[in-house]
Structure 1
Amino acid sequence: MTVMVGQVMRIVRGLLGGAALGAVGMTAAGAATVVSPAPATLPQVMPAPVAMELKGDTLQAGTSARLVLAGDVDKETQRIVRESLAKLGITRVRTSGRFSIDSGETQVVLGTAGERQLERALTAAGGTMTDKREGYALATAQGPKAMAIIALGGADADGLYYAAQTFSQLAARGTLPALSITDYPAMAVRGTIEGFYGAPWSFRDRLAHLAFLGQLKANTYIYSPKDDPYARDKWREAYPADQRADLRALIEAAGTSHVRFTYAISPGLSICYTNPDDIEALERKFESFAKEGVRAFYIAYDDIPYDKWNCEGDKARFGEPGAEAAGKAQAWLTNTIFAWEKAHIGKDAELMIVPTEYYDAKESPYKTALQAVDPGVFVQWTGTDVVPPSIAQRDAKAAMKAFGRKTLLWDNYPVNDYGESTGRLLMAPYREREAGLSEDLSGILANPMNQEAASRVAVTGSAAFSWNDRDYDPEATSLFAARRLANDDGEATLALLMLFDLENLAPTFGSQPWQPQAPALKTELDWVRDALAVGDAATRAQAQVRLAALAQRMAAAPGLIRAKVTDAGFLEETAPWLEAMALWAKALQETSAGLDAALARDPSASVHFAQARLASSDAAAIQTLPGTTRPQGAIRLGDGVLDRFIADAPKFVYVAGMRVAGTNAAN
C-alpha cells in the first residue's frame, strides 16, 4: 500500500507520543540526543498562492500554544485553526490577548490588518501583509526559546478565514515548515451557480457544497435550480414553511463558510415589466430573503423568448417586441431593483443578471440596449457558446466590448443536463481557459452537475483558476481533488484518478468534445496495440504484462474507492459508474487472457473473448440513477477507447494462421 507523506508524519508523531519532529530523543543507553529537524519541503496549497516561500526547517512546535486573537475573529476561523493545531500535535491551547516574543511556548496570532499584535507577530515571523480585498498573509518561524511563531492575518475577515483554510491544508501533513505566504484572489467572484435542469440538489448536498466552497476560498453560491417552482413559475408566491426553514439554514451555513448566498429568481416567462404589482412582488420576494441576511440577488433572463410581451403596457412603453426592446425592458427592471436594493440593504447590496443573449461575444441591438444597466451590476456570459470548448482573453475582451463592462463568466462545466452528456460524469480537469482571463472577467461561476459531490472534481479547478489563473495547473488540481476524496490514501487516490480518466470526455452541444476521452487509458492501450502490431516477441510479452496489470488495477479500483472514500454523497452518486467500471475491468481482464491464449496458440482464446463480450454487454446496459440527471440513459465509461479496444482485440491475433497482426508467423 502506498502511504502518503502526511500519513508517514502522523505515524511518526504517534510513535513519538505527540512530540514534534526535531525534539529531543533518547539513545538506547538513555542519554538525551538532539534529533535534527526534518528537512522542510514546499507544501501544496490549493488554490496556488500568489507567493509562497520556504524560510527554514521543519518547526519544533511542542504540544502547547498561546492563541492570540488580535481583534474580532469569528468562531469558524478559530475552530479551523484549533483543529489544525491538533493535527500538529498541539493539544493544549490557551487564549491570550498579547503576543510575547519571549514566551517559551508556541505563539499563534490571528487578526486583521492594522491590529498591532498581528503586525508584531508577522514581523517576527518574516511575513508580509497585503491590502488586497480577501487577501491574507501567513508566516511561520522558529522563535527564540525553542518555540514556534505562527501568524495568520487577513486584509479583512474573509482574508483571515482564507488564511485559516490554508493553515488547515499545511497542518494536514502533520508537520509545519518555516515559510511565508502572501496571497489574494485574481477575480472578485468565485464559486458556483446551481443552475442546471433536472433534479435539484438536496439540502444535504447544498450544505456539503457550501463547506467545500469555503475550503477552496470560493465566495459565491447562487441558488438558481431551474426546477424550483417558487423561483420560476411561481416566483410571485412565498415559499412554504418547510422550504423556507431549509433556505434559512443554508443562508446561515453560507455565512459560516464566508460564502455569499445569492438568491436567484426567473420572472421572465410571465412578468409585466410595467406592472407596479409585479415590481412589488419581486421586491417583496427579495425583501423576505434580505430579512434572513441575504445581501446578494440575481435576476435570470435566460431561456425566455423576446418576441412577445406578457402585457400591453410593455408594448406601449418599450415598443414592438424584439431583441432591442427586450434589452431596454430588462435594463430598466434591473436598475429599478438595484436602486431598491441599495436603498433597503445599503452598500453591501449586490445584484447579478444573466441576459437572454448570454453566449457569444457578438455585438447586437439587445446587448447594446443592455449596456444601460447600472455599472455596479454583474452581467453574466457563458463564453463563445453555451458550452464553450475554450475561452481566450480575446473572447473576454470582445464580450466586454459587447456588454459595456467586464462580464462574469457562467461556465457551463461540468454541467451534464443535455443530450450529449447523457450517461456521463464530467470529471476532466478544468482546462482550456486562458491564463490572464482575470484581466477581462469579474469572476467565474461554474455550473455543476446534478451530482454535487462528483462535481467537486471540476469545481476545484474552476475555483483554483479564478483565485490564481496565472499559476493554475489542471493536473495538480485534479490530483488534489482525488487525494482529498481518498482521505490521503495513496491507492485510493490512484483509483479515483483512473475513474476521472474514464470520465474525462467533456462534450459540447456540437459533435466534437472539448476534452478527449480517457487520455491516460488510451495511451496505454495504444502502446499495447502498437507492440502487438510491430513488436518482437519480447515486446509483445511486455505489452501483455502491462495490459494484465492495467486490467487488475481497473478491477481493484471500484472496491478501493468504496472502502476508502468516506463521502457518502460521492459513493451514492457514482454507484452505477463504479458498477460499470467493475464490469468493464472484467471485460478487459478477459481480453488480456484471450490475447495471452492466442499468442500461445491456445484455443481457449475464443472463450475468453466471448466472456469479454458478455461483460461488455452487461456494463453497457447499466443505467443512470432514476430521477437524477436529465436526460437519463446508459452509463458511458471510457467509451470510444475501452469498448473499442475490447471489441477489436480478437482481430489482433490470428490463431489458425499463427500470425499476429502486422507481423510474420516466423516472429
Structure 2
Amino acid sequence: MMQRTRKIGAYTSLVMAVAGLSGAVSGPVSAQPTTLPAIFPAPTSIALGSGTIMLGTRVVLIVAPGTEPETVALVRQILTASGVDTIATAKRLPAMPDRLHIVIGTGTTAIVRDALTRSKTTLDTHAEGYTIATVAAGAGIITLAGHDADGLFHAVQTFRQLARRPYLPALVIQDHPAMPIRGTIEGFYGAPWSMADRTKHLDFLATVKANTYVYSPKDDPYARDRWREAYPAATLSSLGTLAQTARRNHVDFVYAVSPGPSVCFSDPADVQALERKFDALRAIGVGSFYVALDDIEYTKWNCERDKTTFGPSGAEAAGVAQAQLLNAVQASLSAKDPGARPLIMVPTEYYDAKETPYKAALRKHLDPRIVVQWTGTDVVPPAISIPDAKAATKAFGRKTLLWDNYPVNDYAQTTGRLLMAPYARREAGLSGELTGILSNPMNQEAPSRPAVTGVAAFGWNDTAYDAERTWHFSARELAGGDERATAALLTFFDTQHMAPTFGSQPWQEQAPRLKAALDAVREALADGDAAARQRAIADLTERADGIANAPDIIRSGTIDPGFAAQSRPWLDAMQLWGRALQLTAAGLDAANRGSGAADRYFADAKRLASEAAVIKTIPGATRFDGPIKIADGVLDRFVTDAPTLIAAAPSRK
C-alpha cells in the first residue's frame, strides 16, 4: 500500500513540475474536479467546497498543545504513506500560509479555534465528535479537530481514507457516532483468539471507529470454570499488554467474567472473589468490567445458602439473586473508581423481549446504572426492528446493548462455514433505542472483519448505513486497495454469503451473485438461440476462471496473511470447485457444439467436486469440525445438473 501511494505522490509532483509549478509541491490544484469522497463509516454530514488540494511532498504540521503523541505519530505515518517526505512543524498558522499547513488538536485550543474560523466552520461538539475542514484558498489548510481525544483520533482515521486520494477536495466534515458503544465481544465457544489476533483486531477496530472490545472467550477457564482463581502471571501480563493496545486505539477494553455455573449469589465470599478478580485486572490497566450470566440454568441453586436466602429456585428468584450480586459489584466498582464506566451484564434470558418473571425481577431490582445486553428477537435473529428494541427497553427497564450474534460460527448450523455476507436487516433508527451494538465474531479473526466492519459502520451512523458499499469497502481494506485482490475477495465472500439461524431458514441466502449468474446460464440454454447459448457459456467460463483463480490472488494479495491462513481450507475447496466449474463450462461448450468430449469433461468436473466436498475445517479451530461449504445449494447443484441441460451428441460411426 505504501509503495502504491508513494507512486501517486511522485506522479502528481511530476505533473505539477511539467505545468511549471515545481516550487509548489503541495497545496491547491484548482484544475482538478471536486468529487465527493466515499468515507466509511458514513459521516454525519459532509459538504464539498470549491477546489482541491494535493498533499505533495512537503507539508507543515501544527500540533495543538495536549494532543496525544500516538495520534500525532499516526498522522505522520499517514502523510509518509501518502508520499510526503518532508514534514516541517510550526506553533501557529501564519497570516498567509506559503505551504500546505495541517492543524491537529481538540477544539478547546486556540490554534484549532483559529483554523476552524479560517475554514468558516465550527466544531462538532458531540462526544467522540470531530470536524475536518480543508481549505483550498492560498496554499491550503487542513484542520483535524476533535471535540475530545477520541474524536480527534476518529478524525485522523477519516483523514487516513482521504489521504489515499491524489487530490483532497475542499470540504467540511462534521461527524459523531449515533451509538455510544460500538465494537465486538469475543464471546464465542471453541478456540479463543490468540493474543496476536486480538492485537490485530484492536488495530482493525480503530480503523472503523469502533470503541469497545469485550474479552469474554467462553473457553478461558479463569473467566468461567475457574473464575475464582487468579490468572497466572504470564497471562495477566499479556492481558495488560492487550489493554495498552486498546488504549492506544481508543478502544475500551472490557473484561468479562462468567461465574454463573458455580456462583453462590448470596455468599459475600463470592462477591469478594469477583472484586478480587476485577482488582487484579484494574492493576494492569483495565477499567471496564462485565458479568456474564448467559447459558446457565436457573432451575436449581448452586448452594443451599441461596435456597435459604431467595427461596425455591426458579426464574423470578434467579432475577432477584442476580440483581443482588450485580448491585454489590456495581457499588464496589463505583467506590473504587467513581469515574468508571457502568458494569455490563448479559442476563440468563438474553433473547426475545417477552414479559417473564425473570425479566420483571431484573427490571425491579437491578441498579439502573448497569447496562444489560440483549441478542434481539432470538439467539441469532433474522432481523431487528425499532419495535423489537422498544419492547426490549420495556422488558428490561432500560435501553439495551445489542449483542448481535453475527458473524459468530460456533453453533452446529454454521459447521463448515465462514459468515461473510454484508451486515444487513437491522433497521435504520435503532440508534434511538439502543445504547450500542457489539458483534460476536467468528473463531477466525481476520475473516470476521467484513461483517464487523458493517456492524461498526451501522453503530456509527445507522441512518446512512449502506450494507453493500460497506461490504465492498471491507474487501478493499483487506486487499490494501488492490482492485484485483478486491474482486477476488468479493467472489470469495459470495461463496460464504449464507447466514444461518438456529432454525431451518437462513436469514441471508447463499451465493446470490453466483446464483443469479448460473440462473442466467440456465435460462439462455433453455430459451436462447445459438448466439445466446454461446455467450452464456463464454460468460460461465469467465466466471469459473474467476472462482478458480481467486484463492491464489487472495493468498498473495491480502495485506494480512492471517486472512489466508485462517481461510485456508475454504480457499483450497474454492479452487477445486472453481476448476470443477471450468470443466463444467467446457462440457457445456462441447455439448453445444455436438462434441462427444462433453461426457469426459462432466466426469472430470464431478470428480473434482467430490474432492472439494470432503475438505474439512482446520481441526480444533471451530467448535464443530466438518466439511467445508462453498456456495452450497448453488454451485454443487449446477455442476450436478449441467450434463442434463444439453442433450449429449449422438455417437458417430
TM-score by length of 2: 0.96
CA contact (8 A) 2:29 2:52 kept: no
Partner of 1:14: 10
Does 2:558 align with 1:543?
no
Contact 1:290 1:345 in 2 (8 A): no
Displacement of 1:566 after TM fit? 2.6
Counting only pairs closer than 5 Å after superposition, residues 526-605 of structure 1 correspond to structure 2 as 526-605=519-598
For 2:8 and 2:31, locate their aligned partners in 1 and report how far apart those are by CA, in whole Å. Answer: 13
- The 8 Å contact of residues 596 and 649 in structure 2, kept in 1 or not, is answered as no
**Stretch deviating more after TM superposition (306-315 or 280-289):** 306-315
62-71 vs 267-276, which moves further = 62-71
| Kept in 2: contact 1:62–1:90 (CA 8 A) | yes
Comparing 645-654 with 50-59, greater Cα deviation is found at: 50-59
- In the alignment, which residue of structure 2 is the partner of 1:665? none
Aligned to 1:44: 38
Instruction: Quickly say closer, same or farther: Cα 1:498–1:7, change in 2 above 3 A.
Output: farther
Q: Which amino acid aligns with 2:145?
A: G
Is residue 2:157 matched to residue 1:165?
yes
Following superposition, the deviation at residue 341 of structure 1 comes to: 0.4
Superposed, 1:141-220 pairs within 5 Å as 141-144=135-138, 147-220=139-212
Contact 1:22 1:35 in 2 (8 A): no
CA distance in 2: counterparts of 1:594 and 1:359, whole angstroms: 50
After alignment, is 55-64 or 600-609 more displaced?
55-64
Structure 2 equivalent of residue 224 of structure 1: 216
Taking a change above 3 Å as real, the CA distance of residues 492 and 391 of structure 1, as seen in their structure-2 partners, is same
Percent identity, please.
54
Partner of 1:288: 280
Tell me, yes or no, if the aligned pair for 2:555 and 2:561 is still in contact at 8 Å: no
Asked if 1:265 corresponds to 2:254, the answer is no
Matches within 5 A, 1:42-191: 42-144=36-138, 147-191=139-183
State whether structure 2 residue 471 is matched by structure 1 residue 464: no
Query: Does the residue aligned with 1:578 lie in a helix, a strand or coil?
Result: helix
1: CA distance, partners of 2:427 / 2:104: 36
CA distance in structure 1 between the partners assigned to 2:29 and 2:379 by the alignment: 59
Alpha-carbon distance, 1:23 to partner? 6.4
**2:54/2:166 contact within 8 Å kept:** no
- SS class of match (2:63): strand
Shift of 1:519: 0.2
Equivalent position amino acid for 2:355 in 1: E
Q: Which residue of 2 aligns with 1:444?
A: 437
- Residue of structure 1 equivalent to 2:490: 497
Does the CA contact (< 8 Å) of 1:88 and 1:176 recur in 2?
no
Kindly indicate whether the alpha-carbon contact (under 8 Å) linking 1:24 and 1:35 is maintained by their aligned counterparts in 2.
no
Contact 1:9 1:175 in 2 (8 A): no
Are residues 286 and 544 of structure 1, via their aligned partners in 2, closer, same or farther at CA, if it must alter by over 3 Å? Answer: same
TM-aligned CA deviation for residue 174 of structure 1: 3.3
Partners of 2:42 and 2:255 lie apart in 1 by 30
Deviation at 1:188, TM superposition (A): 0.7
Contact 2:183 2:437 in 1 (8 A): yes
Matched, 1:303 2:311: no
How far the C-alpha of 1:182 sits from its partner, in A, is 0.3
Question: Which region of structure 1 is more displaced relative to structure 2, 560-569 or 88-97?
Answer: 88-97
Is the partner of 1:221 in helix, strand or coil?
strand
Deviation at 1:12, TM superposition (A): 4.5
Shift of 1:111: 1.4
1:477 deviates by 0.6
Q: CA deviation at 1:85?
A: 2.0
How many residues align structurally?
Answer: 644
Could you say which residue in structure 2 is the equivalent of 1:621? 614
Residues 39 and 621 of structure 1, relative CA distance in 2, 3 Å threshold: same
CA distance in 1, matches of 2:10, 2:56: 14
Which residue of structure 2 lines up, in the alignment, with residue 661 of structure 1?
none
Query: Hey, what does 2:24 align to over in structure 1?
Result: none
Higher mean Cα deviation, 102-111 or 256-265?
102-111
1:462 & 1:350 partners in 2: Cα distance? Answer: 22
For the 8 Å contact 1:22–1:37, the answer to whether it is kept is: no
Partner Cα distance (2:155, 2:54) in 1: 21
The DSSP-based 3-state class of the residue aligned with 1:108 is strand
Name the SS of the counterpart of 2:153 in structure 1: helix
The DSSP-based 3-state class of the residue aligned with 1:590 is helix
Summarize the Cα distance change of 1:450–1:60 in structure 2 as closer, same or farther, 3 Å threshold.
Answer: closer
2:567 partner SS: helix
1:60, CA displacement in angstroms?
4.1
Offset, 1:9: 7.2
CA RMSD of aligned residues (A): 1.8
C-alpha displacement of 1:377: 1.3
The Cα of 1:106 is off from its aligned counterpart by 1.9
Partner secondary structure for residue 350 of structure 1: coil
Q: Give the TM-score normalised by structure 1.
A: 0.94
Segments ≥4 residues shifted beyond 4 Å = 6-10, 21-24
Tell me, which stretches of 5 or more residues in structure 1 are unaligned?
Answer: 28-33, 659-667
